[in-house]
């Protein structure tokens, strides 16, 4: 199997998408952060010393989604048409689940953007709570769904 990010001499390259047509593309990714009870309570009560944790994580997730091409070397800069986020409180964990959906009309997919947005959002929660809990665990950062493009649709539920 040939890797698309290697040329004939096995040197890294950015994939040429100039011959691809524009199509509607969507990707949704999610991830979890497990926190201690004190950290969870501080988020819910909005008493974390660094400010509103979940609101800041949403902004960070959007910013991370938009900045993916500056962080991941072979990603194309993309003109995103939408970035949506959702944070679910998981008191039984305790922790939070962050979901990011990225959309565009373009020549390449947005899976990396959704995954990067989730990662940056969860890292922001970690950063804002590390004074309370250094034992937090970020896990299960994964693609949930993608649509559009040559490779077609993918859904974690369907696989």
> What CATH number is attached to the domain comprising 116?
3.30.70.640
What region, left, alpha or beta, does residue 146 occupy, with left being phi > 0 and alpha being psi -120 to 50 degrees? beta
Q: Which domain holds residue 47?
A: 23-145
| Distance from C-alpha of 159 to C-alpha of 146, rounded to nearest angstrom | 12
Per-residue model confidence (pLDDT) at position 8: 73
Query: Is 153 among the domain residues?
Result: no
| Distance from C-alpha of 45 to C-alpha of 152, rounded to nearest angstrom | 43
Query: Is 3 among the domain residues?
Result: no
Residue given tokens 């949506």 in the structure block: 84
Query: Is 39 among the domain residues?
Result: yes
Query: Is 77 among the domain residues?
Result: yes
For the ranges 15-24, 61-70, 104-113, 146-155, which has the lowest average pLDDT?
Answer: 15-24
Domain count of the chain?
1
Joined together, the tokens standing for residue 41 give 């309570």
Query: Is 13 among the domain residues?
Result: no
Closest CA to 109 of 11, 12, 22: 22
Query: Is 105 among the domain residues?
Result: yes
Stretch 12-17: mean pLDDT, rounded?
73
Q: Are 12 and 73 in contact (CB under 8 A)?
A: yes
Active-site residue numbers? 127
Pick 47 or 60 by higher pLDDT: 60
What are the residues facing 83 on neighbouring strands?
102
What are the residues facing 28 on neighbouring strands?
101, 145
Per-residue model confidence (pLDDT) at position 149: 84
How confident is the model over 78-119, as pLDDT tens digits?
999 999 999 999 999 999 999 999 999 998 889 999 999 999
How confident is the model over 68-80, as pLDDT tens digits?
999 998 899 999 9
DSSP calls for 54-96: HHHHHHHHHHHHHTHHHHSTTPPP---SEEEEEEEEETTTTEE
């Amino acid at each position: 199997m040939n890797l698309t990010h290697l040329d004939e001499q096995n040197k890294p390259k950015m994939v040429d998408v100039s011959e691809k047509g524009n199509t509607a593309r969507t990707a949704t990714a999610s991830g979890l952060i497990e926190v201690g009870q004190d950290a969870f309570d501080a988020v819910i009560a909005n008493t974390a010393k660094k400010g509103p944790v979940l609101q800041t994580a949403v902004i960070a997730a959007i910013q991370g989604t938009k900045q993916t091409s500056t962080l991941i070397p072979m990603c194309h800069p993309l003109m995103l048409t939408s970035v949506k986020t959702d944070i679910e409180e998981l008191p039984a964990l305790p922790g939070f689940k962050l979901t990011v959906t990225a959309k565009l009309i373009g020549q390449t997919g947005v899976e990396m953007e959704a995954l990067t947005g989730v990662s940056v959002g969860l890292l922001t929660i970690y950063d804002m709570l590390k004074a309370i809990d250094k034992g937090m665990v970020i896990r299960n950062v994964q693609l949930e769904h993608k649509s559009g493009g040559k490779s077609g649709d993918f859904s974690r539920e369907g696989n």
